[in-house]
Structure 1
Amino acid sequence: MRLAPFARAFAATAAALLALQGGAHAQDNWPNKPVHIIASFAPGGSSDLVARQLAQHLSTHYGQQFIVENRAGAGGNIGVSFVAKAAPDGYTLGLATSGPLANNKWLYKPMPFDAAKDLTPVALVGEIPLVIAANPQVKAASLKEFVALGKSKGKDLTISNPGSGTIGHLAAEYLRINTGASLRSIPYKGDAPAMTDAIGGLVQAVSAPVTALVPNIQADKLKALAVTSSVRFPGLPDVPTAREQGIDLVATVWNAMIGPAGLPKPIVDSLNKEINRYTSSAEGKAQLAALGVIPLSATPAQLSEKMAAESAKWKRVVDAAKITLD
């Protein structure tokens, strides 16, 4: 039987309303099955452990399992790409770092996703600052003195980092470019070898996430010159920030919860509220501090702005230093 134009329009409108009601009802009942959080790095690292702490808290709050699934590789791109391609129904989320959310688009070509278009920012979780630490024999007690030494010496000072394109590498290049000091950044394959050669004096300093270096700084095997967060790191309260020394360097590894593009606003708002409550609570602060993470909170819009600002900031460094991972 053929419908008249008015009847067809009425039927289409009714069907659309039913679909919207069904979608709203599904969101009201969310989550009614396990939720997967994709951790974009290997098990045992700080990002993985943050994801597991969040998963435990969210499971308790929502009365439904939040399961961490590790999909590591390509600087975090593999895991985040999986999230970007998932259905936007709230059952696949991601705990990602600043690499795939801001920096990697200038380092990896081609990128498997566009962070600005293919993802929904949900909540900022926390950050780990870098520390620039020197071999004890280096005649500099602060980052300011280290930079002055780099300007006065006849040859480059060397700074190791955990790998080409890592935030430790970018921060060292940022320092060189913006201070004019003669510094040479040397990529290693991970925190441990970069730190070992700084302790051994094969390089003068190391630029890496603070959590990897704290034990050797406390043991006086390395001399902390500066942390690169906006405020001092609680685990090294006597070490000043770069900014306190008149050097405008802020570089951290930050974690954020994300979802695929089109994630329904009620789900985003619910998760954002609960994650912010966790990172602001005494329990959340203590659990994150045990991993060397400084808790943060932000609205989804603020997280989106941070992703864009950090991306623009590090693009200038990548371009100036001609860093490529191709």
Structure 2
Amino acid sequence: MMKKVNAHLLGLSIAALVAASTGTAHAQEKYPSRPIEVIATFGPGGGADLMARQFARLAEKELGVAMPVVNISGASGNAGLTRVLTNAPDGYTVGTLIALSVSAWGAGLGSAKPDDFAYVAMTQNSPSMLFVSKDSQIQSYDDFAKLAKEAPGKLRVATSGYGTQDDITLKYLATVGVKTTNVPFAKPAERYASTVGRHTDAIYEEPGDVVQFLKSGDLKPIITFDEVRHPAFPDVPTSAELGMKINDLPNFRTIVVPAQTPPERVQTLHAVAQKVLASPEWQKFCEETYTCVEGTYPPEKVKDTVERFYENVKGYMARFKDKE
């Protein structure tokens, strides 16, 4: 009996040693040592997709591993974010988290929250605008507001979906007498083409996503939803100038991982992201798309920005509900 007990204790000791050595080996594993999957949470050709691909291309040079990009679109980006959260939180899956998705959470669409993620970097930031076709009878925001007041709901505005800041801005405009119809498009290219082809009267978008149409002259901005005028569009008035209180919903994009990801791996990714954002290639990219981020954004500042945006959206939704 004593021999059996000793053998059992010896077996437990060996198992404990094996478990401890395995844990130590995992902790000492070089990171990254295999490809890192990048989840682009919107379809090909849109701003989030282009950002993800540019980031992956530059970051993989720094990390020394491949960073294949996978597009998982749907539910205002929440389909792809679900994939990020259900994969192992080991730093080998990163995703794009953009303002549209956070807005959807604040509007009650989707169950994710800012605390579900650890934040690698703020990669892009830009105010949104309303754009119209070059051949439109609308050539200014005053024209837009006048027509909307004369025929409430007649003007059709292309957006990226319900619950997004696009939708919230249109809801806000309705509260000041400028009522329009939200026409959501799941695919970015279809959204852009709808206004260029005059199937919709305007599009709510950030300038970087429609830069090719701005350069060709097919689209023109009529209002910037911000406190100050956009330096690239100094003749376009802001919502603040026009007395509106809808100036706090920027169109940001970030790179995230699940909140349970080891902090040292988040820091590795953040350090690489800082190198990417400072590179000449990225600076050229962000300047061409009007999305350069001003200042530095450590992970905690990125999270704070996301949380404040989330609370702003919830505040708007509560005010809209009170007025129903």
TM range (shorter): 0.7 to 0.9
Change (3 A) 1:134 1:65: closer
Change (3 A) 1:280 1:250: farther
Offset at residue 200 of structure 1 (A): 7.5
Which stretch shows the higher mean deviation, 255-264 or 283-292?
283-292
Aligned to 1:286: 284
How far the C-alpha of 1:231 sits from its partner, in A, is 5.3
**Which structure 2 residues correspond to residues 261-280 of structure 1 after superposition, within 5 A?**
261-280=259-278
- Deviation at residue 23 of structure 1 after TM alignment: 3.7
Structure 1 pair 260–319 and aligned structure 2 pair: CA distance change class (3 A): same
Checking the alignment, whether the CA contact within 8 Å between 1:173 and 1:317 is kept in structure 2 is: no
Q: CA deviation at 1:60?
A: 0.7
More displaced 10-residue stretch of structure 1: 207-216 or 189-198? 189-198
The number of aligned residues is 309
CA contact (8 A) 2:207 2:289 kept: no
Instruction: Please say if residues 131 and 226 of structure 1, whose CA atoms lie closer than 8 Å, have aligned partners that are also in contact.
Output: yes
> Aligned in 2, Cα 1:163/1:118: closer, same or farther, shift over 3 Å?
closer
Check the 8 A contact 1:129/1:253 in 2, yes or no: yes
Shift of 1:90: 1.1
Give the deviation of 1:19 after TM superposition. Answer: 5.8
Distance 1:106 1:115 in 2: 9
Partner of 2:63: 62
| Equivalent position of 2:137 in the other structure | 137
Unmatched tracts of structure 1, length 5 or more: none
Match for residue 251 of structure 1?
249
C-alpha displacement of 1:211: 3.5
SS in 1 for 2:124: strand
State the shift of 1:36 in Å: 0.9
Match of 1:114 in 2: 112
TM-score, structure 2 length as denominator? 0.77
User: 1:22 deviation in Å?
Assistant: 3.0
Structure 2 counterpart of 1:173 = 171
Matched, 1:95 2:96: yes
State the TM-score, normalized to the length of structure 1.
0.77
Q: Which letter does structure 1 place at the counterpart of 2:35?
A: P
Q: Tell me how far apart the structure 1 counterparts of residues 190 and 52 of structure 2 sit (CA, whole Å).
A: 26
Change (3 A) 1:93 1:230: farther
Extract unaligned runs of 5+ from structure 2. none
* Partner in structure 1 of residue 38 of structure 2: 37
Change in 2 beyond 3 A, CA 1:23/1:203: closer
Q: 1:82 to 1:205 in 2, by over 3 A?
A: closer
Distance 1:259 1:230, change over 3 A: farther
Structure 2 counterparts to residues 145-224 of structure 1, below 5 A:
145=142, 149=146, 153-156=149-152, 158=155, 160-165=157-162, 166-177=164-175, 180-189=176-185, 205-214=202-211, 216=213, 223-224=220-221
Q: Secondary structure at the match of 1:31?
A: coil
Q: Secondary structure at the match of 1:242?
A: coil
Contact 2:209 2:289 in 1 (8 A): no
Question: 1:303/1:201 Cα in 2 relative to 1: closer, same or farther (>3 Å)?
Answer: same
Structure 1 residues 118 and 16 mapped into 2: Cα distance closer, same or farther (>3 Å)? Answer: farther
CA gap 1:233/1:285 in 2 versus in 1, 3 angstroms: farther
Q: Secondary structure at the match of 2:25?
A: helix
Match of 2:299 in 1: 300
Equivalent residue letter for 1:21: T
Query: What SS does structure 2 have at the residue aligned with 1:183?
Result: coil
Question: How has the CA–CA distance of structure 1 residues 2 and 54 changed in structure 2, closer, same or farther, with 3 Å as cutoff?
Answer: farther
Is the 2:131–2:202 contact (alpha carbons within 8 Å) kept by the matching residues of 1?
Answer: yes
* Inter-CA distance 198–67: structure 2 relative to 1 (3 Å threshold): closer
Q: 1:17-32 alignment to 2 at 5 Å?
A: 18=21, 21-26=24-29, 29-32=30-33
Q: Distance in 2 between matches of 1:132 and 1:161?
A: 10
Specify the alignment match of 1:47 in structure 2.
Answer: 48
2:105 equivalent to 1:105? yes
Q: Quick one: which amino acid aligns to residue 27 of structure 2?
A: A
Deviation at 1:170, TM superposition (A): 2.0
Could you say if the C-alpha distance between residues 32 and 194 of structure 1 is closer, same or farther in structure 2, counting changes exceeding 3 Å? closer
Q: Report SS of the residue matched to 2:170.
A: helix
The CA deviation string for residues 213-239 of structure 1, in whole angstroms up to 9 with x for no partner, is 455556665552222356554543443
